[in-house]
Amino acid sequence: MSFYEQDHEDYRETVREYVRRYVSPSYDRWEADRLIDREVWRPAGEAGLIGLDVPEAYEGPDLHDWRFRMVVAEELNMAGAASLTIAFAVQDDLVLPYLIDLGTDEQKARWLPGMAAGELIGAIGMTEPGAGSDLQAIRTTAVRDGDDWVLNGQKTFISNGINADLVIVVAKTDPAAGARGISLLVVERGMPGFERGRKLDKLGLHAQDTAELFFTDVRVPATNVLGEIGHGFGYLMQRLPRERLSIAAGGYAGARAALQWTQDYVFERKAFGQRIGDFQNTRFELAEIETEIDVTRAYLEQCVLKLNAGTLTTVEASKAKWWATELEGRATTRLLQLFGGYGFMDEYPISRAFRDSRVQTIYGGTTEIMKEIIGRDIAARYR
């Protein structure tokens, strides 16, 4: 049975048309500007590329099938637009699940329609200069003052940080309570004391607006608290599998795109009187990488179907995340070699993909953290 059905293939054509009209003509400029135009979000909303899970009651597609998200990742990566893949993934796979699952009716009515339409862009503020994988080490605090929470602290490496209209901020509301003292507050654009820092210069994903965020005595209304006070750490742990599967799908899609570009190149270009693709070493490289990609896809498809069914575990998502992102790194490195000197030139998408892929094994939980999660699960079976 095919993983994709006809509805997904029809949707694929919608995504390709969006890419042709709005992404391909502008992507090089976004890379140079180090920023994706906000204007590209609205047509994405109109085409149904973002906000897929937003209920009809809040003007969304109400489409709970993650295979459509995988189609988006595949097509954007095939166009060499990894930065936009990440921007949309932050919206749909990180921010929206919190708002949909934890938001009050008033919060949903206030934020969801704009996010589904591409009028509002979201981000999530977890990482700090001194706290990455260890979320319990965050230092950002929120103190209750009347009907508000006064927020102080800073975040870094925040994807969509410049364009974001609302940021889900992870803060300590009871520093003495450890994991039980962490809460989620939504900070909106224009709140006094909320400032953007640098748009960070990065090795890759140049068009993705990764930023520093600063909060100085920001008064966040109690109506902007997501879920219950003190339950933030649990909320984060519950939603990490989807985030990690999203990154895994991006890794798989990036490797798949790099392989297609390379196959097209080596069977067109000649050296020493024959096509580069006809040399045994080239065929072996292509054979190994295509096999690894196909095997990875089989596992990812299982994970996607489990996510749709609500049964995807943290361990399963961790396996997908570390394997697919490490695969992307290996694949882009080895495939770039087959381009020779042209692989080092930005006119070929493999050059950009080589840079863009490097962060995949780091954010969303490093490869080492993923292995630790899996290893603890294995060890627990023998207790």
Catalytic residues: 243
CB neighbourhood size of 249 (10 A)? 28
Distance CA 88, CA 280 (A): 40
Which string of b and e fits 70-88 if b means at least 16 CB within 10 Å? bbbbbbbbbbbbbbbbbbb
**SS3 label, residue 171:** strand
Q: Identify the sign of the CA torsion 310, 316, 318, 324.
A: negative
300 with 248: CB under 8 angstroms?
yes
Strand-strand pairing, 166-172 and 122-125: parallel
Query: How long a stretch of residues is the chain?
Result: 383
Alpha carbons 94 and 2: distance in angstroms, whole number? 28
Q: How many Å apart are CA 306 and CA 263, to the nearest integer? A: 32
Residue type at 246?
A: S
